[in-house]
Amino acid sequence: MHAGPKTVALTFDDGPSPVYTAQVLELLHRYGVPATFFMIGENVEEHPDVLRQVAAAGHSVGNHTWTHPDLGRLTRGEVRSEIERTGDLIARIGRIQPPTVFRAPGGFFTRATFAVCAELGLRPISWSVDPVDWSNPGTDTIIGRVLRHTRTGSIVLEHDGCLGPIVPGGPADRSQTVAALAYYLPRLIDAGYRFTSIAPVK
């Protein structure tokens, strides 16, 4: 990402979550930081109001497929359906333009995925800082990985949601992510970092 010295992008995958997305939004609002949320279609369908909250707060929304599959196991037609269905729902539910950026689940882009993105006018987006927060490695571990690896142009990957029920300590528990964000965000700001969305907000 090229947006000037000490400018980075925060991204959040696998939402929207009925619990954790709002907590992330509160922290972003507190520090005046924009972000990009790559959303799963099934979660958007389940929690449409959370998508609207993200859009109303001025953050950009990206496409992260309908069911978070391994795209390498899908036909080109199935890949297109996963992406197109999600983009259409985000636009309709959020009352916004369809997403212009796409992130493959796990970052596993395939030739078919790149081809479909080109057909649909979507820019594929990966990341450069991955604290592996989805695995709940501990708040301090997430903080350390973000602060240690973030630099000019970084795209930081974190997760505000997950498919499935929210159970403390389970795969959809994003409390460590929220706690880490609350700690490292003001420290990055104090260190002179600025933040930008990956895609324009529409």
In a domain, 202, yes or no: no
Query: What φ, ψ does residue 78 adopt, rounded to 5°?
Result: -70, -40
Across the range 4-10, mean pLDDT stands at 94
Task: Give 2's pLDDT tier (boundaries 50, 70, 90).
Answer: confident
Task: Give 25's pLDDT tier (boundaries 50, 70, 90).
Answer: very high
Choose, from 13, 14, 133, 160, the residue flagged as catalytic.
Answer: 13
Task: Give 201's pLDDT tier (boundaries 50, 70, 90).
Answer: low
In a domain, 123, yes or no: yes
Across the range 179-200, mean pLDDT stands at 95
Handedness of CA 137, 127, 62, 119 (dihedral sign): negative
Q: How many domains does the chain have?
A: 1
Choose, from 64, 133, 159, 160, the residue flagged as catalytic.
Answer: 159
Report the alpha-carbon distance of residue 188 to residue 193 in Å, rounded. Answer: 6
pLDDT exceeds cutoff 70 at 200: no
Amino acid 169: pLDDT: 87
In a domain, 158, yes or no: yes
* 173 catalytic residue (yes or no): no
Distances (CA, A) of 122 to 22, 32, 35, 171, 200: 27, 27, 18, 29, 13
Model pTM?
A: 0.96
In a domain, 27, yes or no: yes
* 149 catalytic residue (yes or no): no
Instruction: Show the domain range for 86.
Output: 7-195
Across the range 35-60, mean pLDDT stands at 97
Give 113-171 pLDDT, tens digit per residue.
Answer: 999 999 999 999 999 999 999 999 999 999 999 999 999 999 999 999 999 889 888 88
